[in-house]
Structures are given as structure tokens and as C-alpha cells.
Structure 1
């Protein structure tokens, strides 16, 4: 029988954001291990079906409040002894989980190591030092440095937060005038030390999602973006389709992924890597997260491959993971997110269902008439969410473009609340 462990789970998911996607009771034996949950209200509701199996539950109003997390972990140590494992699935919890591991001497990704998977400058410096291609970049300190850098690498230029997610705060500038305007906004917000300048590289962008155990890939899915995350942040639909027909491309990007994971010493867990394929011949590292991809990615992975990224990640951490075989070819699918209306808050007046018009769509999530779009929907509470299954990459890509063309929503702008 395996030794009993004290396991802390930080869980913020629920309702329309991965609600019910991970069942901790199915992958962690709560009768053998002491499982302590640190949750917000949404996360607490998400574990309601088995919350009585928990050794302890701390409901924390704001999981961003490190002092509250620290207090809960301190109470856990006093009551149950040394913590063996901290599980944190959300990108927004990775840094605090690492800080807790360091402070309380818990195994796993430390505060020092987590920067490799959260800080875009730290990760790129490491990747570059190991000889892998990255965009030229500048750790931005002041406007003069940024302008000098732009004159060296040319336009367009990307301004990107060091610790951002989902392209939030990313700016693309086309000339010096736009750069100076963007820099003025950054400096006015006192965010100069949180930004970087990055060379713009032309090419198809891919997201690569997978699982790794003891330094060996256990699962990988390579997907080519349609428009992309930055486009989505600008109000343009974002989709992707899985690469399965183009085996030379898949094999080349798989090798690059293995090199990146080795460079960043990511040996166990889940990952979401973003890569530009320059001139369809040279993989260029963009960024990586030591977590699963967002939007429909985990749902599509489960539907097409039968792989629950959350639960398999937990098994890797627990040491209970068992390898599985995934077909090299024959699985074709994709996803699409239609962003919220440009003017928010707004009430949905009409939205067109297209699931019956495009046979490749097998799942459609659209808002109800009267629903309010408030601008805070991320990739979830938005105008439309779709998953596709087809007979080839090309068929799925064509279906995604067709869905973008056919989708239609009408909204009525509301006066912003003054409360």
C-alpha cells in the first residue's frame, strides 16, 4: 500500500470555467490521503459532490491573497504535519503555489523554478542560452531603450507583459508614432518594469499541448491557430485545428518541443507551448506555461483523445500515471471562440445557432437571449464556443472559417453600472 500523503489542492474552477472537468475524488484516494482544499466560492461549489471526503476545506474570498493562502497552509501543517504535495491547475495559482512550496519546504516546482514557466523574459533567456531560436527581445526599462531597440529590429514590434496570459496587455505597434503612444500609456500606468519589447516574426503560430513524465513525452497535440490569441484580444475570432496529416511538420515541432522542455527542466506535468514556424521551416519559441491550455483545449483533448489533461497531470504528480497509446494519425479536430461584442456591457438580443449548418461542429455554446456580456468573459462567457471533428486537417480548418463567416450575434449596449 502506498504511503499516506498530505495533499493541498488550490482550486478556483467552476460553473462555465471548467466546471466539473476535474474530479479530484476519482484520481486521489481521499481515504488514504489527507486532502486539504484551498478554494474560492466557485471552486468550493465545484467540489461539492465529494467535499465531505476532504480532510479540511479553506474557502478563501480571493485566491490572489497570498497571506490568506499562507495562513491556511500554516494551519494545515499544524494540524496534519508536513505537506507532501501542492496541486494547482490554474496559471493564476502557479506562482503562489511555488512560493508556498519554497516557504514550507514542499516538493515540486519552487519559487525560483516557476519563473521559467511564468516570466517570459526568464524563459526566453534560458531557451536562448541553450541555442534555440527565440524572437529578439528587450527587457524594457524606459522609452529611449525601446525606441533604440525598435530601430534595430524594425516594425511591427510587439509589447508584451512579462507575466501576462491570454494576450492580455499585448500591443502590436506598426511605427515609431504608435510605439511612442503605447510607451506613454505603459509609463503612465507605472508598468515599465513589467513589459518587454519583442521582434515580430511572420509565420504560422501553433499551440502545443501535452504531458511529460520523467522527462519523456507521454502525450502531445500540435494545433495551428486560425487568427490567434492576440487577434482574439482585439475582438477577432480565434480558433485552431490539430496537426495530424502533416507528419513531417508534426515530427519537427515535436522534436522542438522536447528540446524546449529539456532546456527549461520541465520533466513532470502538463504544458502549453506556443511556437511560430518561421518560413514554414524554423520553429521559434514564443512562450510556455506549465499548465494546460485554455478555452476549449482541455475539453477537445478529452473528446478526441480520451485524455483528461487535469486528471492525468495529477496522476503524474502522485506517481500513479499509466502510459497510454494515442494514434499517430486519423484524429482530426479543432476549436473556435467568438469574442464578446466590442461594445460592452451589452444584452444579447439575437444569436444564430450554426451547429446544424456545419456537420463538423459537434459542440456549440452560445449565450441565451437576454444574457449580459460584460467584457470579463475571458475565453468562456463569450459570444460563441465551438468544437469540431472532421475527416482531415483541411476539412476542419475549412469548417472553422465557415463558422466564422456564418456566425451572427446582435446585442443591445447597456449603460455601464455606476455602482
Structure 2
């Protein structure tokens, strides 16, 4: 089988060789120079370089057509390139989910409508363009969320005190979203929705779908929120106990958005003991979700997903629940002034008996300039393992309150020379 992979996620986060036999199949990776650089030199595959200037699907289609190669599968495991892979499949006549199918797990307004039609509660939501034309169609008065229809990592997500406060910010060009506050606003408006702010802890459910059925799922509860992380606050997550009611709810969501095969990352709000749908993605969760999921179940999500996507059988043998719960955390640095990372107050946590893994930037290493959940890019990140959800949550709360990141002036080139030495 000839397989084309739109390669964006660093290779070590997926380990494609665990799910695809590269000796048996003819595997092509296409990506930017930065993305292709993460592929192991010893991996038997072909690499296609794209400029990374235009839309990914346009570049991929042009390159493939110029080579006159046909593919049996076109895959992407990146949230940002799922639709690109669908466009490539349609343009090249390759089997697999098309654009209309993939939009059900990318368009946040569409997915909420489908889940609501299945009888589940969702936040009330409206397309931003419709709301601007008629503000009276927003039938709530409290806090209101502005967000991109197809965004990730809470980028360009802003919370306002009310729908009317949002309207005022739009008129005054001060929403805090660059594309809405500047000359590109007209075209950008179509990319956004608004929704009511539903209170409660945020949960995420991660798992695998096989033949439209949820084969395995693990629930977790965030410590902090992705939105606060985008603003510079620490973020973590701790696994919770399995519950048949939650599993049934997850299956209803998966069925509503018509996921047939692959991984999913589903977020919900625990509002007064009832689950309210937030959003779902047909890909693995970020940060250290893959590792903590494997620690709990013995299953490596990306490799199982890849086998399903190329039509190979997947035997799912989960390990018995030992009672140990796992979690992850990440401390941001993208919001800080440009400079070198200096970490304070971490000593007692690095050696904590529940600290399964600790990663941190070297003292003086340049801080990231973009929102990232990657353990190798964030100032500090790690995995924890302990006897209960509540005890791990307390550990993370203590860690977040104690560890401090400082940005000091740095000559990045000089740091690179010292680090290399």
C-alpha cells in the first residue's frame, strides 16, 4: 500500500513506525523542512518537502500531481491538517473521509448542532456574522465566549461579561483578536462563533473508536483551563474513575458527529453533576495525553489509530485497572518577555515520589514564543502517578502555586554556544 502522511506533529509524539510497517508499505511524508527534520534518519520512507507558504492542501496537491504518483491512503493526525488531508483525498480520488465528514469534528458550531440533535446539552451558540446582523438572537445575558470555529489551544478565544459587551468590543475594534480588530475583520468574522459561558470543571475524554463504537475511553479532569493557559497560567490534567454513565454519554457524542475510526479528544463541562458538551476532535489529545493513556490502559493511541486508518486489524487488550491514576502538567512561557528561562521553587517537586517524569528547559534557554504543550518546549512539564485523582490534583495545585518562571535578558546565540559546549 502506498501511503501519504501530511506530517506536522513531531515524529516522537506519534512514532508512526509503531502503527505502520514501513518495510511492508511504501510510505511518503510531506511537510515543511522543520517538520521533516523530526523524522528518524533510519526510517525507510520517502520525504517530500513543501514550502509551508500557502494552504497545506494546495501545496500537497500540486506536488503530488507534479510527481504523477497515486496513493491508497492520505493521512494526517494533526488537528490543523485534518481538513487539508480531506481536501487532498477528494482532489486525488483517494478513499477516506471527505471535507463534509471532517467538518463535523472541526467546525465547533456544526458539532454542537449535531450533538444537540442527539438530545445532549450544549452551550447555546451563534455564528458571529449572524449575531452582528441581529444581536437580539442571543437569548442569554451572562458571560459570553468568542472563539474560532476551527481553532485549537484556545488561541483567539476571549470571554466577555455579556453578549452586549462583545458587541461593543466589536464596534470599538478592541476584542483582543487581531483579525477582528484590524483591516481583515470582514473575512475573519465568518470564522468565529459566540456561545454562552457554562460554569463548572472541565473534563476531557480520550479514547479510540473502532467501527463507530467507542472501544476504549479514559476520562480526566483539568487542573486549570486551556483558556487560562493561553493567558499564561499553568495547566494540568488528572485521570478520573471510569463511570458507565459517562461512557454512554461519550458514545452518544461520537455517534452524533459520525466518527467511524480513530482517536478522539472530547471536552465537556461538569455543570452541577451533568455533562455539557464543549467540543470534540478526531485525533489524540495534546500534552502528555498519549503517555498517560498508555500508562492507564497499556494502549498506544496513535499506533492503533494508524492501523485502523489503513484498514488493518487492531486487537485492543487493556491492562487491568491497578487503581493508580495518572496526570500531566505544563507551565507556559509564551506570554513572558523574550528572554532566557530561569526556574525557581521546583526542587521539592522534582524528587516527589509521585513525579513519574519531569522535563524543564535548561537555565537560560530561550523561552517559547508560541503557545505549546510540548514537554521539550515548555519551561517545565511532567507526568505524575498517584493513588487518587484528588491527591494528584492537590499535588498539581501546590506545584502551580510554588514554581515560578523568570525571564532574564539573554543573547540566544551565546546560549546556544554555551549549551553546545
1:39 to 25, 31, 34: 31
Indicate conservation of the 8 Å contact 2:359/2:381, yes or no. Answer: yes
SS of 1:133 mapped into structure 2: coil
SS of 1:410 mapped into structure 2: strand
Aligned to 1:121: 109
Indicate conservation of the 8 Å contact 2:221/2:240, yes or no. Answer: yes
Indicate conservation of the 8 Å contact 2:233/2:331, yes or no. Answer: yes
1:199 to 174, 196, 200: 196
Q: For the structure 1 residues 197 and 352, does the alpha-carbon distance in structure 2 shift closer, same or farther, using more than 3 Å as the test?
A: same
Aligned to 1:62: 52
Aligned to 1:358: 352
Aligned to 2:4: 8
> Is it true that 1:293 corresponds to 2:290 in the alignment?
no
TM-score by length of 2: 0.87
Q: For the structure 1 residues 205 and 391, does the alpha-carbon distance in structure 2 shift closer, same or farther, using more than 3 Å as the test?
A: same
Alignment partners' CA distance in 1, 2:392 and 2:334: 25
Deviation per residue, 1:63-117 (Å, 9 max, x gap): 84332201233245x24x3x22112111111010000111122121111111001
Aligned to 1:407: 403
Which one is further off, 36-45 or 363-372? 36-45
Alignment partners' CA distance in 2, 1:35 and 1:356: 40
1:132 to 109, 115, 120: 120
Q: For the structure 1 residues 332 and 71, does the alpha-carbon distance in structure 2 shift closer, same or farther, using more than 3 Å as the test?
A: same
Aligned to 1:372: 366
Alignment partners' CA distance in 2, 1:366 and 1:387: 12
Deviation per residue, 1:326-366 (Å, 9 max, x gap): 43561301111111164321222444434345321111111
Deviation per residue, 1:8-46 (Å, 9 max, x gap): 1111233xxxx4233333432233322121132233232
> Is it true that 1:104 corresponds to 2:101 in the alignment?
no
1:164 to 130, 146, 151: 151
Q: For the structure 1 residues 85 and 237, does the alpha-carbon distance in structure 2 shift closer, same or farther, using more than 3 Å as the test?
A: same
1:212 to 209, 218, 225: 209
Indicate conservation of the 8 Å contact 2:19/2:302, yes or no. Answer: no
Which one is further off, 170-179 or 220-229? 170-179
Indicate conservation of the 8 Å contact 2:144/2:196, yes or no. Answer: yes
Alignment partners' CA distance in 1, 2:132 and 2:34: 45
> Is it true that 1:261 corresponds to 2:217 in the alignment?
no
Alignment partners' CA distance in 1, 2:140 and 2:209: 35
Alignment partners' CA distance in 1, 2:409 and 2:142: 36
Aligned to 2:267: 274
Alignment partners' CA distance in 2, 1:351 and 1:307: 35
Which one is further off, 340-349 or 212-221? 340-349
Alignment partners' CA distance in 2, 1:11 and 1:342: 27
Aligned to 1:305: 297
1:348 to 341, 344, 353: 341
SS of 1:37 mapped into structure 2: strand
Indicate conservation of the 8 Å contact 1:211/1:220, yes or no. Answer: yes
| Offset of residue 237 of structure 1 | 1.1
Unpaired runs of at least 5, structure 1: none
SS of 2:13 mapped into structure 1: coil
Equivalences, count: 397
Indicate conservation of the 8 Å contact 1:143/1:180, yes or no. Answer: no
SS of 2:201 mapped into structure 1: strand
Indicate conservation of the 8 Å contact 1:173/1:179, yes or no. Answer: no
